[in-house]
Structure 1
């Protein structure tokens, strides 16, 4: 009979040298969405004569999220069964190659094809990076600190790259895609500084099947995560169009980038807040996070002009920064080693499927209701429903956690 030692022993103690490459790698999926946000209006103008361009151009940002939703569970399976570090290095390298490809393309379908491949790489990167953070830092205090820093780092990086995307976008919409080469720069320290976590010791060579996932306890957190992905992402995708809708010209990428960067800074601030209040349960933090998102989106709806977009975007983004690490702790952090990769994959699948739905829902609502700001307000109403639901189901949430 095969015995399994449930303890996971780390041959080395992880520290800042391991945290930094993982935090940097975590930025790549976020950059995949925000980097080209300031130039979306330019891309829309460039492909205006292409059939269905009004739908296809926003999909340049949204399609990677769909691929993450579809492939993150498979990445989690590989991470649990084979090797986490190796998967991360390969994914970062391929990410850089396919990410930069649109810089030399002038075909909308070809660009969308590269974005599909980019999303597959992002699925592996985000799943493995989050899993390794939990692997390397098993004690609650350090783990929660680095998960909070993960949200802060990704949003601060997003702020920088939004600003950079807006600046270099003034030289043409192709230019920002060159920045995806950053994936190669991150793959090098990942390969040099990380190691494969030691797996549970088996006294015999027989293969032991992975334990079944607790679907009953995961169902509610994954549904809430899907809603959170949509409310988190809707402003990232639509902020440039909201700014242009106030009268700013599409060519003024500096202004568009500045507004998007301000929202990203607010998201980073939310991540810093989480680091201070991580001792509170997700049942207490999630209603606050969703509530801030709801208030901000309703402000965008009800307050006309650029001031409404800026003010509402800051409030909603503060909630988003608090929401992201809270969801990770709730769903992933407490899982045992043997299923942590798969649960991380499922969490990323739910979150990024919500992100994929965000532009589709926003576009559909804007068409039906006669304005994008109204559509954002409706998504804010959905965030409010999530806030009330998580508040009312706090007992079940505590049990699931």
Structure 2
């Protein structure tokens, strides 16, 4: 659902810009139709995590899925830009609950190898969904900018089997009052502050290619109307992310302490290829390499930050992780614009992000190795 919220309507943004051209500030407000749900996820995911730990998982998820259908389809019949933006705020709040609960349930339901497979499957599902929804939004957009918003009603169809197939996980044995216990278990800030900072950058680096791919292609001289070439590059990058997620299941045996830095390095290599290899070839190859690294990155982060949490704190930690990741997404176009202005071009900006990714890889690798060594010494 968060992927649906962010990519479905991107093909009709030019239509929305034309429709609301006479609205003051429309050049900023229309792109916010896509961006504002990510900001709402960043703001409200921690609150969703609080509710998850105190009240439970399943009820919040079902309510959010049903509400998502109504607020998501609202722009299909709304006519004013302020009203549409208000509905998008509500979409983001629903997405905050959906993303937080689903990730929490994956960690609740499964353990060890099965958990790794499902965390990877989450990445695969979101990246493949992005490819499908971009194409679907473009096809429906031929019927006018209202049409794609009706797709949000699909959450009703998904909510129905959720009611019967999902179950509320049990708390650990001896926990007589789960809600009180959850309230008393503090958020482990000392353990998660660093990983959350890395997650914030990861949300940024993950979405650089997704958001900027079309602009990078056009920057090589391809016409903005040549959607076949632009779509092919975007689809190739999306498929590479999915393949990276599939590979994670086998690669996780080498350990997150190695895999997470490797993911950042692969991202960096792709971004540096975009910077230094001229033309469409460099953009296409670089986007595929960087996106393959992103496929490693997302499940590795989830494994690192969330998979080791206790039941009573898991919802809140997941909410904070979701907030950090989607705040990175929201900041991506802003930061790229700033870096691009300083570096002189979009390709140079992407390359600078690649250099920063290498630095993050080194810092994370050293930190994880030290922590692992510390644990081994204590165990000895």
Q: TM-score, normalised by structure 1?
A: 0.85
Q: Answer yes or no: is 1:376 the counterpart of 2:350.
A: yes
**Residue 384 of structure 1, CA deviation:** 2.1
Aligned to 1:282: 256
Q: Corresponding residue for 2:303?
A: 329
Aligned residues: 372
Shift of 1:328: 0.3
Aligned to 1:84: 57
Residues 262, 91 of structure 1: alpha-carbon distance in 2 compared, 3 angstrom cutoff:
same
- Aligned residue number for residue 117 of structure 1: 90
Q: Is the 8 A contact 2:201 2:328 kept in 1?
A: yes
> What's the counterpart of residue 47 of structure 2?
74
* C-alpha displacement of 1:47: 4.7
**Residues 296 and 167 (structure 1 numbering): CA distance in 2 closer, same or farther, change over 3 Å?**
farther
The answer to whether residue 210 in structure 2 is matched with residue 236 in structure 1 is yes
Within 5 Å, give how 1:301-316 maps onto structure 2. 301-316=275-290
- Relative to structure 1, the CA distance from residue 47 to residue 313 in structure 2 (aligned partners, 3 Å threshold; closer, same or farther) is farther
> RMSD of the TM alignment (CA)?
2.4
**Structure 1 residues 260, 132: CA separation in 2 closer, same or farther (over 3 Å shift)?**
same
CA offsets 1:1-56 (integer angstroms, 9 cap, x no match): xxxxxxxxxxxxxxxxxxxxxxxxxxx11222122334445544555555444443
Extract unaligned runs of 5+ from structure 2.
376-380
Q: Corresponding residue for 2:359?
A: 385
Change (3 A) 1:56 1:47: same
Shift of 1:204: 7.0
Counterpart mapping for 1:44-83 below 5 A: 44=17, 47=20, 50-83=23-56
SS state of the match for residue 159, structure 2? helix
Secondary structure in structure 2 of the residue aligned to 1:274 = helix
Q: Which moved more, 1:122-131 or 1:57-66?
A: 57-66
Pairwise mapping of residues 2-401 of structure 1 onto structure 2 (< 5 A)? Answer: 28-44=1-17, 47=20, 50-137=23-110, 139-200=111-172, 201-203=174-176, 207-208=180-181, 209-396=183-370, 398=372
Seen in structure 2, the aligned counterparts of structure 1 residues 303 and 76 have a Cα distance that, compared at 3 Å, is: same
Shift in Å, 1:165: 2.2
Shift of 1:86: 0.8
TM-score (norm 2): 0.90
Could you tell me how far apart the structure 2 residues matched to 1:111 and 1:258 are? 31
Change (3 A) 1:246 1:205: closer
Asked if 2 retains the 8 angstrom alpha-carbon contact of 1:103 and 1:177, the reply is: yes
Higher mean displacement: 123-132 or 204-213: 204-213
- Counterpart in 2 of 1:12? none
Unaligned runs of 5+ in 1: 1-27
Taking the aligned partners of 2:72 and 2:81, their CA distance within structure 1 comes to 15
